[in-house]
């Protein structure tokens, strides 16, 4: 298995993988694969990595721009991230996140923001200071990892692909 950037030929496999990975997840809206497709169509998919297992995509992670207080200041959003159900708990997600963070940092990014389980993402250096906001989302699950500069504060605006779904869930 190895990590590589997605190619145009990977879109269908990523869509199917994402649908299968999120199907059993209780908090899933079922929109994760559509979000990735829209990020791609709107050129907001800044980085898209796959885990390739002998020609079969078993993992995927996406990174897109995120604005703080209406301004893009080289901060990126991590997600969605998907791992094939039969390949979960084998370190694939960890490897994809680690490589993605290295590549986003190499772009000169100030950092990365995500909405997720603090217990999982702490291992990558993510934390929450309670000073990032997004609708009614609990600030404790809005986490960041700073590469350079100061910790972010303010109201988040995701790429359009996320905004439609997140506003429905967290008005």
Residue ranges of the domains in the chain?
A: 2-169
What kind and span of H or E run contains 2?
strand 2-5
Compare 5 and 166 and report the one with higher pLDDT.
5
Residue 25: the pLDDT is 79
> Going along 16-137, which residue ranges are E strands?
47-53, 56-68, 71-83, 111-115, 132-133
Compare 58 and 137 and report the one with higher pLDDT.
58
Question: Is 170's pLDDT higher than 70?
Answer: no
Residue 171: the pLDDT is 52
Q: Which stretches of 23-128 are DSSP H helices? A: 32-41, 92-106, 118-121
**Burial class (CB within 10 angstroms; exposed 0-12, middle 13-18, buried 19+) of 119:** exposed
What is the assigned CATH class of domain 2-169? alpha beta
Report the C-alpha gap between 52 and 50 in whole angstroms.
6
Question: Is 121's pLDDT higher than 90?
Answer: yes
Closest CA to 46 of 110, 124, 100, 125: 100
Mean pLDDT of the chain: 92
- Percentage above 90 pLDDT, the chain: 80
Residue 169: the pLDDT is 57
Question: Is 43's pLDDT higher than 70?
Answer: yes
Please answer whether residues 22 and 62 qualify as being in contact, where contact means their C-beta atoms are separated by less than 8 angstroms. Answer: no
Residue 24: the pLDDT is 78
- The distance from CA 59 to its chain's CA centroid, rounded to whole angstroms, is 13
* pLDDT tens, position by position, 151-161: 999 999 999 88
Please answer whether residues 68 and 75 qualify as being in contact, where contact means their C-beta atoms are separated by less than 8 angstroms. Answer: yes
Mean pLDDT over 100-126 rounds to 95
Q: Enter the pTM of the model.
A: 0.92
């Amino acid at each position: 298995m190895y990590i590589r950037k997605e190619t145009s030929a990977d879109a269908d496999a990523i869509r199917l993988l994402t649908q299968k990975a999120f199907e059993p997840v209780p908090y899933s809206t079922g929109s994760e694969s559509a979000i990735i497709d829209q990020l791609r169509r709107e050129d907001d998919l800044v980085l898209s990595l796959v885990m390739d297992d002998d020609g079969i995509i078993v993992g995927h992670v996406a990174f897109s721009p995120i604005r703080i207080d209406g301004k893009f200041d080289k901060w990126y959003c991590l997600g969605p991230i998907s791992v094939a159900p039969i390949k979960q708990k084998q370190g694939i997600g960890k490897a994809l996140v680690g490589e993605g963070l290295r590549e986003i940092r190499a772009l000169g990014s100030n950092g990365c923001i995500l909405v997720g389980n603090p217990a999982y993402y702490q291992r990558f250096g993510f934390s929450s200071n309670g000073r990032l906001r997004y609708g009614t989302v609990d600030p404790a699950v809005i986490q960041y990892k700073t590469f350079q500069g100061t910790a972010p504060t303010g109201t988040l605006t995701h790429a359009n692909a996320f905004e439609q779904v997140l506003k429905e869930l967290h008005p």
